[in-house]
Amino acid sequence: MDSLGQFEQIVLTAILTLDGNAYGVTIHAKVEELSRPKKVTRGAVYATLDRMEDKGLISSWLSEPTKERGGRSRRHYRIEKSGEKALRESARTAQRLIETIAQTLGGLAWKPR
């Protein structure tokens, strides 16, 4: 299984937290929130979504067209089993990193922000 890049982890987490309402606009908003203070372009989110879909980590489908979108459909995203697994693995690695850094910098009362 391929390991996830940092941005992929953020996008996957955004889809996971948005549950049934994950589409371009909401995912971008959530990704911006998670990546603060860094600004993220929506295009980068689309490109990452496409890449993760090709890897089979997420799946997508089109909703019914809506008036507030000029009669266009939303592309909804959902995390797949392999995506969940990859995200769990990344979280475990991050946890180990946090623990190691906290142990090393413990004297400085270091805390992840």
Give the one residue of 1, 19, 37, 54 binding another protein; rule: CB under 8 A.
54
Contact between 20 and another protein (CB under 8 A)? no
User: How does DSSP classify residue 50?
Assistant: H
Q: How many CA atoms lie within 13 A of 24 on its CB side?
A: 15
Contact between 26 and another protein (CB under 8 A)? yes
Contact between 81 and another protein (CB under 8 A)? yes
Q: How far is the CB of 3 from another protein (least distance, A)?
A: 20
Contact between 43 and another protein (CB under 8 A)? yes
For residue 11, the tally of other CB atoms under 10 A from its CB is 30
Stretch that binds another protein, among 11-19, 52-60, 85-93, 98-106 (CB under 8 A): 52-60
Q: Which helix (H) or strand (E) holds 104?
A: helix 81-104
Q: Which of 88, 79, 81, 92 is nearest to 15 (CA)?
A: 79
Which residues bind to another protein, rule: CB under 8 A?
Answer: 23-26, 28, 41-44, 46-47, 50-51, 53-54, 56, 59-62, 66-70, 72-75, 78, 80-81
